[in-house]
Amino acid sequence: MKNGKRPTLKQKTLMRSHGYDPEDWLVTKDMTGQLEIVNRASLKRLGKPKFRRLSKDI
């Protein structure tokens, strides 16, 4: 897994439109049609991290 980065302003507005709090999520991939995010809290715990893919077509 790549290291997650803090979201930019455009990415934050996209996350809010999907109902996610940008303070709790990091961006792992920023593709042309999708944004892949990972939960900060799940990275600190043992086990599988929580990933989500958001569509940019809104």
22 found inside a domain: yes
> How far is the C-alpha of 2 from the C-alpha of 7, rounded, in Å?
15
Query: Residue 2: which of 54, 55, 49 has the closest Cα?
Result: 49
3 found inside a domain: no
1 found inside a domain: no
Total count of domains within the chain:
1
Query: Residue 5: which of 33, 43, 32, 57 has the closest Cα?
Result: 43
Q: What is the pLDDT of residues 5-57, one digit of tens each?
A: 999 999 999 999 999 999 999 999 999 999 999 999 888 877 788 888 999 88
30 found inside a domain: yes
> How far is the C-alpha of 29 from the C-alpha of 11, rounded, in Å?
11
Domain of 13 in residue numbering reads as 9-55
Q: Is 14 exposed, middle or buried (0-12, 13-18, 19+ CB in 10 A)?
A: buried
Q: What is the pTM of this model?
A: 0.84
